[in-house]
A and B are shown apart, each in its own frame.
Chain A
């Protein structure tokens, strides 16, 4: 059983790059296009890590994060928030919602991969 990673982002091109990156590392990748789909996938697939976009149509990434943290059965899910909003208020919001790490777009693929590896180690 490999390590499952969920990518939740509404930007298809970003999904493409993340998916390529993660698959190259050997992780099993699942994709969700919006917040509700992401939450559904987390409950169904129980991924070890979620790369969560902050701004998505429907339920936002912050909403997904809060919902996951509110659900005790999902306690082991690690969450890495990705957001295009770099202001400190957004970082604080993401941390407040219960994210384990916070990465600002655009990101360095190497740094991001290092972060992912660390979180899954």
Chain B
């Protein structure tokens, strides 16, 4: 037992710590160093799902039904598999259209219907109040247990002011007001609150694991020991099997399935989950990480549920009078581990307070925006055209709603607190919020859903839920006459509608309520075409990823009419406060390129922007009403909607076309640049070539001109002298012809107009002739030429003159490059199996490997321009072209001793080409 003041002091101390964490979070957020902007904090904040219901109730349920506590956690884990698809879409929609609650989400989807928003809010309040009461009860029950001891039945309830529960509730209201209504714009994040919730998630997990470890290894000898000792109790046998307790016989597949589905929806649709997962999401990419962190969290917090339940039953004895829902506290207490019991109590409190805070923020936003605001807007003194800043009023409404919701929860607990077991309360709430599933999920994937369908489905499903689940549970706890369960007629018995038996009450209720809900939703939606407003919202929601409005593709704006800037400024100032309003219009001015706020055109874009901003503060339905009241709108028909869509898609097409154009322009520019570079380089080569040709032409011309002029001016020239001059003139003329021919030759070959005269060629004779023709050149340079010819070689089909041209070119080159003394060249002819090869080696300087490819390029003369012998740069390119024409190849290597070895091979049959299987002669150089 622990003294009451100690427990109270510790509780309030914990709450103070929470204040500190939240204040830190808010401060960091204000400094721009947000602590919630990371996937881990985001994931931990999701764990607000594990409320006191988990903390205490799971053990209770496990003690009653074995593994039946599990579906409530399997569902969310399954839902997490779909998180990236469904949740991300919800987040994108909510953040694009500044949606702040689940009521707002559904109402906004169906044409911003205020009626729908109110209906969702009412269902939430009715469905969630018991759940809130449950949290209060958990804190209170824990307190009683700690203060009054485990073995005693709780004393008659103390008067309310003596109980710490009210104090805790009020402290929570204070916390929620401070951190949950910091700013009016609910679409903005509550940094401090999220930080505190994430912190609480750690606390409750740590506390639960601590108790689990203590019981499993402290009081028992590990899980196996607990199981072994449970064998001694026949009552516990059923818990240890999959058969489960409740079905008594076969495993209840249907019920298992129903509960899994139920919790799968709840994890997305509970107001606190929507708040944490959707509204407080900083970055949708965090969802990926958060989904598995959250799953892991659920796994961890459930690990010790069964050991605790069975351990408790073994310890206290089945039916030992101890409520299994208190095992988390009573087991440490029974062992005298008071400190651990206090830790466990704090853990339970963190589970309860986390849920209370977030649920209250979410519900109070809904109550304020979707119940109070629409009522206020109808009041004459409050309409949109009335003056005065109402931001403070709105915040106060929200604060009052927080206090009201919490106090209602407390009152509910005081009145009905002992009536239900924790787990059944939780499941009843789950079933209530599951009614949102058709309208919400249908709304983001099906364009056909209408407001009438959604409203009818919600109300119908809710009515069936109330009749088959809520009211029977009240009847069972004695609030309603027991005869209620029999129904007015047997066919209308609340737990056996139309005579359906064999299902447990939860599955039964879920089946009928969802059947009615989906039936009405789909049926009514299909029966009438959606209105223009419904259709546009459907489009914006379903196609949010396509039309949500990235920077490149503006979202279509479904609004036409006339607005005055002053009216919009006035409205924004009134609802957002002067500061935020000014900021809003300045941003708009900057984005549209207006010189000042006064210069803004009051067009559809501005109206849409103001409306979205207001939606963040008062909800989309109220924002719609407010904006509509200050502007002159043209009602949109479906045809207008289609027209606007066409315009938008036209714009998109233009934008895309423009992008493509600019891409292809870029490509074309790049191509042109490359072509220009190539041309420049070609131009440069031509210049060099022309310069080279000019030089070659000028040299013989110089001799011819000089000598003929001299002869002309010297009539008395000696005969011998004249003769020598004439001989030189003839030689130089020949040289000129050769050069001109070569240039023409190259040009012809380039253009494919060369003439080829094919005949049988004996290479032996051809090589000998060529050597004889060049012998003079070698003699001049004092060099010798050797021939290495086989006795016979096969005849080939080729143009003998062209081949002679090749050989002369190679021999002339060799003669030019051999050293002045001891110059030596060698011509080798070889016959392979399918080809002939000719090699011309010299003992000149050779050609460096990196220039070997260049020597065959046109106009390219390798080596130092100043020292190399003159040439046209055409000889080798022409030679190579000739060889290639006959299917052969030409290359250059290093000759033994360092000179150059030019070689070519020709196939015996040109048709076979160069790869004709002949031996490669290159290695013989």
Contact = CB atoms under 8 A, between A and B. Distances in A.
A84 interface: yes
A59 B731 CA distance: 27
A13 B714 contact: no
Interface in A67-114: 84-87, 105-110
| Residue among B702, B724, B867 with most chain A CB within 10 A | B702
Nearest to A109: B709
B909 interface: no
Contacts of A119: none
Contact of B701 (A57, A59, A105): A105
A106 B695 contact: no
B599 interface: no
Contacts of B732: 13
A27 interface: no
Contact of B699 (A11, A60, A107): A11
Given A87-B691, A105-B699, A14 B867 contact: no
Contact of B695 (A16, A84, A108): A84
A18 B698 CA distance: 16
Contact of A105 (B698, B707, B725, B869): B698
A109 B702 contact: no
A57 B867 contact: yes
Given A57-B869, A106-B701, A109-B713, A17 B694 contact: no
B867 A106 contact: no
B821 to A, nearest CB: 15
B709 A86 contact: no
A109 B700 CA distance: 15
B705 A107 contact: yes
A109 B698 contact: no
Contacts of B704: 106
Contacts of B694: 84-86
A44 interface: no
The A contact surface, by secondary structure, is loop
B714 A108 contact: no
A26 B709 CA distance: 18
Interface residues of B, number: 28
A59 B866 CA distance: 7
B188 to A, nearest CB: 73
Contacts of A20: 710, 721, 725
B706 A106 contact: yes
A41 interface: no
Nearest to A54: B695
Contact of B703 (A11, A85, A87): A11
Contacts of B700: 13
B728 interface: yes
Contacts of A14: 699, 702-703, 706
B481 interface: no
B336 interface: no
A49 interface: no
A100 B701 CA distance: 24
Nearest to A56: B866
Given A13-B728, A20-B710, A85-B694, 12 more contacts: A13-B707, A16-B707, A21-B710, A55-B695, A84-B695, A85-B691, A105-B698, A106-B701, A106-B702, A108-B709, A109-B705, A110-B709
Contacts of B691: 85, 87
B867 A58 contact: yes
Interface in A2-31: 11, 13-14, 16-18, 20-21, 24
Contacts of B725: 16-17, 20
Contacts of A105: 698-699, 701-702
A55 B692 CA distance: 11
Given A13-B732, A20-B721, A84 B702 contact: yes
B837 to A, nearest CB: 32
B710 A84 contact: no
Question: Which range contains the number of A residues in contact with the other chain?
Answer: 20 to 34
Interface in B864-878: 866-870
A105 B699 CA distance: 7
Contact of B706 (A18, A55, A60, A84): A18
B714 A24 contact: yes
B739 to A, nearest CB: 13
Given A21-B710, A110-B709, A13 B870 contact: no
A30 B644 CA distance: 97
Contacts of A57: 867-869
Nearest to A17: B706
Interface in B564-620: none
Contacts of B695: 55, 84-85
B704 to A, nearest CB: 8
A24 B714 CA distance: 10
B720 to A, nearest CB: 12
A75 to B, nearest CB: 26
Nearest to A87: B691
A83 B810 CA distance: 28
28 contacts: A11-B702, A11-B703, A13-B703, A13-B728, A13-B731, A14-B699, A14-B702, A16-B725, A17-B706, A17-B725, A18-B706, A21-B710, A55-B870, A58-B866, A58-B867, A59-B866, A84-B695, A84-B698, A84-B699, A85-B694, A105-B699, A105-B701, A106-B702, A106-B705, A107-B706, A108-B709, A109-B709, A110-B709
Interface in B697-743: 698-707, 709-710, 713-714, 721, 724-725, 728, 731-732
Contacts of B698: 84, 86, 105-106
A108 to B, nearest CB: 7
Interface string A28-47: 00000000000000000000
A102 B783 CA distance: 37
Contacts of B870: 55
A27 to B, nearest CB: 15
A117 to B, nearest CB: 15
A81 B793 CA distance: 54
Contacts of B866: 58-60, 63
A75 B55 CA distance: 111
A11 B704 CA distance: 12
Nearest to A10: B870
Nearest to B732: A13
A86 B697 CA distance: 12
Leading 10 A-B pairs by shortest Cβ distance: A84-B698, A17-B706, A13-B703, A106-B702, A105-B702, A106-B705, A109-B709, A106-B701, A84-B695, A105-B698
Contacts of B699: 11, 14, 84, 105
Contacts of B707: 13, 16-17
Contacts of B714: 24
Contact of B710 (A17, A58, A63): A17
A74 to B, nearest CB: 22
A17 B699 CA distance: 12
Contacts of B867: 57-58
A58 B721 CA distance: 31
A84 B696 CA distance: 8
Nearest to B870: A55
A57 B698 CA distance: 17
Contact of A16 (B701, B713, B728, B868): B728
A101 B197 CA distance: 97
A59 B867 CA distance: 7
| Residue among B691, B700, B701, B706 with most chain A CB within 10 A | B706
B702 A110 contact: no
Nearest to B721: A20
A109 B703 contact: no
A106 B709 CA distance: 11
A63 B870 CA distance: 17
B543 to A, nearest CB: 68
A31 to B, nearest CB: 15
